[in-house]
């Protein structure tokens, strides 16, 4: 179940990355690389940090094929994408929570302490988007737009403490996905943002 939503989320991430690549006028190869980096970069960085080998996509190389296929499909379907804004935002919200839970599970299986479990979920959820923005030469969106990382942190906290309080894992996953999803959608609809820190003196 989590695995199926994971594949759906990978596809959704790859497709939004392809659109970002198109905005930078990348060629088809660049579109595929950006799709793979965005969809799989979070898990790759998590596994590198934790020394958790083999990486997900090395163990299951079809993920790369899926990302490239999703990216090329996006090129073919580009004219319809504007109409699909909301489906994408919803899939992306779903993916964020699912990536987070999967990341928490990896750290839990390694017996990491709670802070690392939360960070592992967070890294899995948001680093793909950060790498996408760095490769597109932007300041990462996640550092300044509507609640996104916060959703990952909240989902990670609920999941980790839910398990510690003995809630059945399947029920917990459903609950965390619903709450995280609702929080992210609310953030988009109501433009919920973290307070910004604006500093304009040049002290260095």
What is the contact surface with a copy of itself in residues (CB under 8 A)? 16, 18-31, 33-34, 44, 48-51, 53-55, 58, 61-62, 64-65, 75, 78, 81-82, 84-85, 88, 112-113, 115-116, 119, 130, 134-144, 149-150, 193-204
Q: 127 Cβ partners below 8 Å, 6+ apart?
A: 41, 42, 45, 46
Q: How far is the CB of 137 from a copy of itself (least distance, A)?
A: 5
Output 7 or 170, the one with its CB closest to a copy of itself.
7
Beta carbon nearer to a copy of itself, 145 or 179: 145
Minimum separation from the CB atom of position 171 to a copy of itself (A): 28
Q: Is 188 exposed, middle or buried (0-12, 13-18, 19+ CB in 10 A)?
A: middle
Q: How far is the CB of 100 from a copy of itself (least distance, A)?
A: 14
| Torsion angle of the four alpha carbons 8, 3, 134, 83, in this order, in degrees rounded to the nearest 10 | 10
Least separation in angstroms between CB 118 and a copy of itself: 9
The rounded distance, in Å, linking the Cα atoms of 98 and 114 is 18
Within 8 A by CB and 6+ apart from 159, the residues are 100, 101, 104, 121, 172, 173, 176
Q: Which is nearer to a copy of itself, 88 or 157 (CB)?
A: 88
On the 0-12 / 13-18 / 19+ scale of CB atoms within 10 A, 29 is exposed
Residue linked to tokens 């083999």: 54
When the beta carbons of 4 and 82 are compared against a copy of itself, the nearer one is 82
> Residue 46 or 173: which CB sits closer to a copy of itself?
46
Q: Considering the complex, what minimum distance in angstroms separates the CB of residue 179 from a copy of itself?
A: 19
């Amino acid at each position: 179940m989590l695995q199926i939503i994971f594949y759906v989320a990978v596809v959704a991430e790859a497709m939004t990355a392809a659109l970002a690549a198109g905005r930078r006028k990348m060629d088809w190869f660049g579109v595929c690389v950006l799709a793979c980096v965005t969809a799989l970069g979070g898990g790759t960085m998590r596994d590198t940090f934790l020394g958790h080998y083999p990486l997900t996509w090395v163990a299951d190389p079809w993920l790369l094929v899926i990302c490239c296929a999703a990216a090329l499909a996006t090129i073919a379907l580009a004219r319809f994408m504007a109409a699909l804004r909301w489906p994408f935002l919803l899939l992306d919200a779903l993916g964020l929570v699912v990536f987070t839970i999967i990341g928490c599970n990896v750290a839990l299986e390694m017996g990491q302490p709670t802070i690392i479990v939360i960070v592992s979920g967070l890294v899995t959820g948001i680093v793909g988007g950060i790498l996408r923005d760095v490769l597109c030469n932007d300041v990462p969106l996640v550092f300044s737009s509507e609640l996104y990382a916060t959703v990952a942190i909240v989902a990670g906290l609920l999941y980790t403490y839910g398990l510690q309080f003995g809630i059945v894992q399947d029920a917990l996953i459903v609950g965390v996905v619903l709450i995280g999803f609702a929080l992210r959608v609310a953030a988009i609809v109501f433009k919920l943002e973290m307070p910004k820190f604006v500093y304009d003196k040049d002290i260095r």
